[in-house]
Amino acid sequence: MKAEIIAITNRKGGVGKTSTAHALGAGLSLKGKKTLLIDLDSQCNLSQAAGADTAAGAGHILRGEAKAAETVQELSENLFIIPGGADLARADKELTDTGAEYTLKEALSELIPEYDYIIIDCPPSLGVLTINALTAADRLIIPAQADFFSLQALTDLEKSLQLVRKYTNKNLKTDGILLTRYNARTILSKDVESAMQDIAREMHTKLYNARIREGINVREAQALHKDIFSYAPKAKVTSDYQAFIDEVADH
């Protein structure tokens, strides 16, 4: 078994990045895939949503204070997490040595044989943490809210991805763009969807067929430290995420 590493990123906040990472990890685990979540955001939203203990986690791994396996916590059958921590906010100042971009990749090497999937939730920026995630990843998934601000963020992200492929990870594949907080009844969502299709082609990737609708169930599940599938299995947003996960797994 060799884990496929998937990074979830967008430099724009509020696009459902953490919700997507949590749902993807939970959904894959329900398919019988042994899945590890990694929270690289100092705000620890993924860790909090999952109910993880943030006393030791990704920051300790990156500073060489712990091995990756020592920080793994079990959430449920087939689902595990390496939590984030407030100490990750210091990463841009601490990870400055030559080759710092490869720190996470090297740390995860011992875990790759143990899992089917490793899902990395990146911070909403293109600092050293996100570069570490992109350097370690096989595939990239980009959640993007159906608004015009997301279009510019995608253009900026593509410029950074070109640099990553040039210098640290030539094999990184952008698997697709996932539209979140989507409302098919609005003209804006339809216009943005059309523009996203064009950007996806320019990025040599695709727009996922699944569209993630807005749903209060996601925030309620996070508040109760549950995944969307166990909290609201019949909700519309749950079926949206299931369709998305089926697309990722079929790949």
Write out pLDDT tens, residues 192-210.
Answer: 888 889 899 999 999 999 9
* Three-class DSSP category at 142: strand
CATH superfamily of 4-250: P-loop containing nucleotide triphosphate hydrolases (3.40.50.300)
What single-letter amino acid sits at 241? Y
Position 123 pLDDT exceeds 80: yes
123 vs 190 pLDDT, higher one: 123
Looking at the whole model, is its pTM more than 0.85?
Answer: yes
Write out pLDDT tens, residues 151-182.
Answer: 778 888 888 899 999 999 999 999 999 999 88
* Three-class DSSP category at 193: helix
Question: What pLDDT score does 26 carry?
Answer: 97
Question: What pLDDT score does 7 carry?
Answer: 98
Domain ranges of the chain: 4-250
Write out pLDDT tens, residues 42-101.
Answer: 999 999 999 999 888 999 999 999 999 999 999 999 999 999 988 898 888 888 888 899
**236-250 and 216-223 are packed helices; what angle lies between their axes, rounded to 10 degrees?**
80
Question: What pLDDT score does 190 carry?
Answer: 75
Question: What pLDDT score does 55 carry?
Answer: 84
